[in-house]
């Protein structure tokens, strides 16, 4: 029989061994990620911070293609091979939530209202009283202007109203006819066209859908006002609309004096040693004194019902929306989805070096997102050709009427 001292030693050693013997098993969650190089590096840093704080959860990051994300997720759900977590953007979140494919995170401690995330971004992930993801990205739109071009034209501030936007476009244009050396205003193609139209539609007090979401109504008075602004811009020799690739380079090098864009401009400037100084301004409004408003696009991380590790996956998604994680996004020159990120050390360092980035961060207080609708992608695809037709010279009312008819046919098909 062991002595008292030996028994005490044995008990002590047993106690020391107990935690290891009953240590929680490590859980591995699969995370599909299809971000740009800029967003990807921020995500890698976030994962490292998460795993350091949660040593019992490992994240297997699987690189996917941004352009085929929706199709790949749809196929995975159908074959019961969905990951634990993936990003979702555009109207796909509401579509999957409506189909019952996403986990309602309220059962894992996410409150139905969340003061730690910008209202516009949090609104995106709510559906039928549930919370079906958490935002990782909230990108405002704003006017980017070349400071040297503004100084040469005697301008000190970006345009405050749509009338000023048109006036500035004319004033900033250098050259005439087919010999334009500097365009006054530029607008990108495809998605940018639709975002600009929706931004103007919202500014004029309009909506894309009627109150119960059964019909598209963006051909109403507000939509017509938005379309007429685009039509007037398209009629100016110094406006290059539906410009496509290279527009950010153009404003950074003075070939275009101002553009409608988002926070991608900062990373573009970082990687361009010959970039000229540029400024950031709010999206113009219909009239002086109107409430500032800009369109913001949102991306969210979601947990799939097929996941075998829902609790761990929910912890991961919650962390990625926190200021602690979002500061890594700001460090890579994108705004954070949480107002609290302003106080995070890496974010503060980025804001000090890039004051325009802090301006972009603050614009999220006044950002609205696209409509939440389970058939939004089809309606969005009807808006793009309508704006293209207006730029091409078609009467705005006719172009918008045709787009609304197309959108409502899609809504009736479901």
Q: Residues 161, 286: contact at Cβ < 8 Å?
A: yes
Percent of the chain past pLDDT 70, that is, above it, reads: 94
pLDDT at residue number 67: 64
The reported pTM is 0.90
pLDDT at residue number 334: 97
Give residue for tokens 């992930």: 125
* CATH value of 27-139+296-368 in 3.40.50.720, 3.40.190.10, 3.40.640.10, 1.10.940.10: 3.40.190.10
The angle formed by the CA atoms of residues 359, 281 and 362, to the nearest 5 degrees, is 25
Cα distance between residue 336 and residue 137, in whole Å: 7
pLDDT at residue number 24: 64
> Helix, strand, coil shares of the chain as percentages rounded to 5?
50, 20, 35
**Is-same-fold flag (27-139+296-368; 142-294+372-413)?**
yes
pLDDT at residue number 17: 45
Strands 367-368 and 239-240: unpaired
Domain boundaries, the chain: 27-139+296-368, 142-294+372-413
10-residue mean pLDDT profile of the chain (414 residues): values are: 42 44 77 90 96 97 80 90 91 88 96 88 93 96 98 96 98 92 96 95 96 96 98 97 92 98 96 96 94 92 97 98 97 96 97 97 93 88 97 98 97 88
Compute how many other C-beta atoms are within 10 angstroms of the C-beta atom of residue 251.
27
Class of domain 142-294+372-413: alpha beta
pLDDT at residue number 372: 85
């Amino acid at each position: 029989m062991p002595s008292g001292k030996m028994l005490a030693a044995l008990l002590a050693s047993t106690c020391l061994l107990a935690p290891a013997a009953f240590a929680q098993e490590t859980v591995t969650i699969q995370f599909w990620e299809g971000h740009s190089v800029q967003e990807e590096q921020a995500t890698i840093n976030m994962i490292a911070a998460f795993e350091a704080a949660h040593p019992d959860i490992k994240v297997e990051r699987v690189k996917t293609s941004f352009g085929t994300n929706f199709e790949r997720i749809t196929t995975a759900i159908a074959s019961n091979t969905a990951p634990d977590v993936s990003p979702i953007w555009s109207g796909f979140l509401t579509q999957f939530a409506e189909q019952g494919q996403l986990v309602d995170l309220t059962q894992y401690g996410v409150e139905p209202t969340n003061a730690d995330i910008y209202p516009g971004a949090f609104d995106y992930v709510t559906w039928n009283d549930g919370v079906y993801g958490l935002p990782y990205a909230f990108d405002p739109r704003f006017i980017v202007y070349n400071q040297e071009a503004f100084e040469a034209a005697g301008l000190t501030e970006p345009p405050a109203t749509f009338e000023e936007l048109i006036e500035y476009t004319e004033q900033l244009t250098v050259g005439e006819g087919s010999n334009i050396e500097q365009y006054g205003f530029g607008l990108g193609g495809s998605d940018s066209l639709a975002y600009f139209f929706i931004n103007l539609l919202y500014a004029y007090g309009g909506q894309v859908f009627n109150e119960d979401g059964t019909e598209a109504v963006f051909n109403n008075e507000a939509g017509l006002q938005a379309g007429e602004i685009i039509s007037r811009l398209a009629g100016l020799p110094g406006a290059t609309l539906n410009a496509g690739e290279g527009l950010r380079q153009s404003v950074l090098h003075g070939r275009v004096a101002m553009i409608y864009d988002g926070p991608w401009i900062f990373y573009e400037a970082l990687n361009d040693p010959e970039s000229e100084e540029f400024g950031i301004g709010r999206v113009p409004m219909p009239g002086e004194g109107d409430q500032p408003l800009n369109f913001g696009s949102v991306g969210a991380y979601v947990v799939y019902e097929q996941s075998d590790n829902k609790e761990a996956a929910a912890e991961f998604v919650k962390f990625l929306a926190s200021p602690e994680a979002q500061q890594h996004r700001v460090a890579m020159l994108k705004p954070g989805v949480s107002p609290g990120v302003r106080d995070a050390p890496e974010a503060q360092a980025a804001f000090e070096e890039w004051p325009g980035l802090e301006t972009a961060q603050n614009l999220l207080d006044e950002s609205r997102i696209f409509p939440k609708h389970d058939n939004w992608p089809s309606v969005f695809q009807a808006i793009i050709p309508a704006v293209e037709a207006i730029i091409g010279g078609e009467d705005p009312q006719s172009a918008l009427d045709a787009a609304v008819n197309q959108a409502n046919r899609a809504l009736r098909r479901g």
